[in-house]
Amino acid sequence: MNLIRKVKHYYKRAYAMGHHPSLSEVLFSDKKVLIYYGFLGDNNYGDELVYNATKALFSDVTLLPVSRYTPHMLRLLVAMDLKKIIGIVIGGGTVVGNFNSAAVFEKLAESGRPVYMHGTGVKELIVDQKAWKTVTKNEVFGGVRGPMSVQNMMQIKEGAKIVGDAAFALFTDNKFVDRKKDIKRVLINLGTHVPYEGQEFFRKEFNDFISHLISENYNVSYVPFHEIDLELGMALKNTFPEINIIEQPEGFEQCADIFADCTFAIGERLHFTVLAIMTKTPFISINYAKKHEDLLLSLSIPHIGISPAEASKDKMLTAFNSRLAFEWTPIKTKLQGYKDFQSEQKQKFINRCKDVRSKA
């Protein structure tokens, strides 16, 4: 039975989720191919968001993710070192640490392929340093999530640039809109894959904050970014029947519209905070991991985050009551700057890829 479950899981991840290009696209289309390393998402909205942002940025080439879930024939084509494979993309998520499927990427790097890093997070301890040094030994374009990732990146390579989150490639002015003052909806989220320090305290205080909002006739809406989040949301609804559970969104546009219809957002997921930032939604980030701090530092707004152990009801209320005092102009300038820089670096990377392959 375990074998059957493993086969079904592999089939779902390799063939049923739409993450991988078709064999005919790789072999017969006019598009060049970039191999991709990064989280693809398994019903995880944040991982899907950053992958889709990378696909949008590189819409004129084919992205071919390589992992243990890559379809066998596609993996074979990569091993054959096709001439169409022109470079390597290291995607969003905190992926620089361990290195799964490293041999494939090392082989391509040894043949001179350059690297584009798309808002990649870098762990404090890079376990597979040798493999990462090999893959990044050629010219690296793009950059990492924030200043903490820049510092951590020095374990394997100096000179990394900050490009913000990969999702910033999807930033548009029409989603960065002013709120109507009479909106009575607050958007919330919970969800982590592992417990964190201060979790019990925060979630107790969070319940007290929710109770206050409901007593003030606010519509409290819960948006899940993963099935784990949905379970937590349903548990909250058992305590507060007034909470409205929203179906997990698909894509940036749908999720941005959800955020645009609220007056404040507070949640655990990193990309819950990213969506609040990209839609000009007043928010407070619950910094249960270093990646939250890294994100906020990239936008010069560390003060909008709070550690779970300090996230009392009173502090949440203070942030909520001062939500209209946000200084959004410098945030928008940063967002647009990162989007433009990602695009400029992408074109330089593609040009470099073509130069390398033409000399091969």
DSSP secondary structure letters along 99-163 = -TTHHHHHHHHHTT--EEEEEEEE-SS-TTHHHHHHHTSS-EEEEESSHHHHHHHTTT-S---B-
Query: What pLDDT shows up at residue 10?
Result: 65
Give the pair of three-digit tokens for residue 118. 């798309």
**Spatial CA neighbour of 270 closest among 255, 289, 256, 246:** 289
CA neighbours within 13 Å on the CB side: how many for 226? 19
What fold, for 177-327? Rossmann fold (3.40.50)
Q: Which amino acid is at 67?
A: S
Query: What CATH number has the domain spanning 2-169+337-359?
Result: 3.40.50
Q: Which of 208, 218, 215 is nearest to 185 (CA)?
A: 218
Q: Residue 205: which of 90, 317, 329 has the closest Cα?
A: 317
Structural contact between residues 171 and 275, judged by C-beta atoms closer than 8 angstroms = no
**pLDDT of the residue at 14:** 66
Q: Report which secondary-structure segment, H or E, holds 33.
A: strand 33-37
- CATH fold match for the domains 2-169+337-359 and 177-327: yes
Domain chopping of the chain, boundaries: 2-169+337-359, 177-327
| Cα gap 81→254, rounded to integer Å | 38
pLDDT, position 258 = 96
Per-residue pLDDT of the chain (360 residues; tens, 9 = 90+): 476 777 676 667 767 667 888 888 888 888 999 999 998 877 899 999 999 999 999 999 999 998 877 777 787 777 776 778 999 999 988 999 999 889 999 999 998 999 999 999 999 999 999 999 999 999 999 999 999 999 999 999 999 999 999 999 999 999 998 877 778 999 999 999 889 999 999 999 999 999 999 999 999 999 999 999 999 999 999 999 999 999 999 999 999 999 999 999 999 999 999 999 999 999 999 999 999 999 999 999 999 999 999 999 999 999 999 998 889 999 999 999 999 999 999 999 999 997 766 555
In whole angstroms, give the CA distance from residue 307 to residue 49.
Answer: 25
Strand partners, 140: 115
Q: How far apart are CA 113 and CA 138, in angstroms?
A: 7
What is the SS3 assignment for 69? coil
Q: What is the pLDDT of residue 83?
A: 79
